[in-house]
């Protein structure tokens, strides 16, 4: 799915952007991290929408 943004004339001129990234794989617990290592480059996330399938049989051991 292509990226799209909620910004420009819709939300106060390039003030905000929402970007999609693909994920896959099973998990019982998941941990998210944001990082920005490049010099003179900023980072300011405000929320993350996460889509997942709730799909397996409960109670299975690892």
Partner 1 sequence: MADQLQKVILGFGGGLATDFGPSFTSAPQNGALIIPWAVAADNLTWELDGGPHKVGGTSRLNTTQIQVGTNTVHGFFDAWYQGTIGSETQKQWANIGTSLYSMDALDGTWDSQLTGLEDSKQPHFFMAKDIGIFSSDSNTDVPQRLPVGLTVANLLGSPPNFAFGTWHQNRAWAAGVASNPSRLYYSASLDPEDWTGAGSGSIDIDPEDGDRLTGIWPHRNELIVFKGPNKLSIHRITGSAPTGSAAFARTPFVKGISAINMNGIGTVGDDVVFASPRGLHSLAATAAFGDYIEAFLSRPILSYYQNNLNHNTLGETWMANWAQKGLAVWTFAKSGGTAKNVILVYDYRFQPGRWSTWGRTTAYLNCHSLAIMQQTRIHRLYAGTTTGFVSRIGDVADQRLDGSTAYTAEFKWPFLNFGSSATMKTAHGGWASMAAKGDYNVTIGWSRDRNAEETAAVNQGGGDTLT
Instruction: Return residues touching partner 1 (CB under 8 A).
Output: 1, 3-10, 13-60, 62
Please report the sign of the dihedral spanned by the C-alpha atoms of residue 55, residue 34, residue 21, residue 6. Answer: positive
Contact present, 35 and 43 (Cβ < 8 Å): yes
Q: How far is the CB of 9 from partner 1 (least distance, A)?
A: 5
- Residue appearing with tokens 């970007």: 19
Q: How far is the CB of 12 from partner 1 (least distance, A)?
A: 10
Q: How far is the CB of 1 from partner 1 (least distance, A)?
A: 8
């Amino acid at each position: 799915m292509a990226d799209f943004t909620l910004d420009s004339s819709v939300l106060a001129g390039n003030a905000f952007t929402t970007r999609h990234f693909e994920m896959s794989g099973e998990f019982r617990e998941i941990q998210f991290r944001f990082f920005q290592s490049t010099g003179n480059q900023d980072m300011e996330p405000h929320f993350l929408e996460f889509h997942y399938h709730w799909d397996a049989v409960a109670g299975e051991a690892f």
